[in-house]
Copies of this chain bind each other. A is one copy, B any other.
Amino acid sequence: MFNIDFRNPKPIYEQLVDSIEKLVIKGVLEQDYQLPSVRQLAMELSINPNTIQRAYAILESKGITYTVKGKGNFINSNCGNVLNQRKKDIEIQVKELLQEARDIGVPENEISQWFCVERSNL
């Protein structure tokens, strides 16, 4: 369910955060869904529990989850915000990349193909 790649140079805790965040955005994990316990997930993924703990703490600080002591970690209700934040992030990154592409002289018709080819792939 959570895709973790140990060869990925990106830290595991970050991969976990991203993975859960995407599941929330896609609606796979709905409001008040309970995440697996730290220990259980650590077992399943063969990961140090501290690493899971760290990921859960980040998710909570981002407002994506809430913690009930003695109960567990649950998905929060503000999924819309998460989605909108991610949308903005993507938009910014795309615009920066397009800017750089134009700076180094990639012609407009090539750039628009990146956009159109994807469209035709749908």
Binding site for B on A (CB under 8 A): 6-7, 9, 11, 22, 25-26, 61, 66-69, 71, 83, 86-87, 90-91, 93-95, 97-106, 108, 111-112, 114-115, 117-119, 122
Assess whether A83 is in contact with B97, with CB atoms less than 8 Å apart.
no
Residue of B nearest to A89 (CB): B97
Assess whether B106 is in contact with A26, with CB atoms less than 8 Å apart.
no
| Residues A87 and B101 in contact in the complex (CB < 8 Å), given A7-B66, A61-B61, A69-B11 | yes
Report A116 CB to chain B, min CB distance, Å: 10
Task: Write out the residue numbers on chain B whose beta carbons fall within 8 Å of the beta carbon of A83.
Answer: 104-105
Task: Write out the residue numbers on chain B whose beta carbons fall within 8 Å of the beta carbon of A66.
Answer: 7
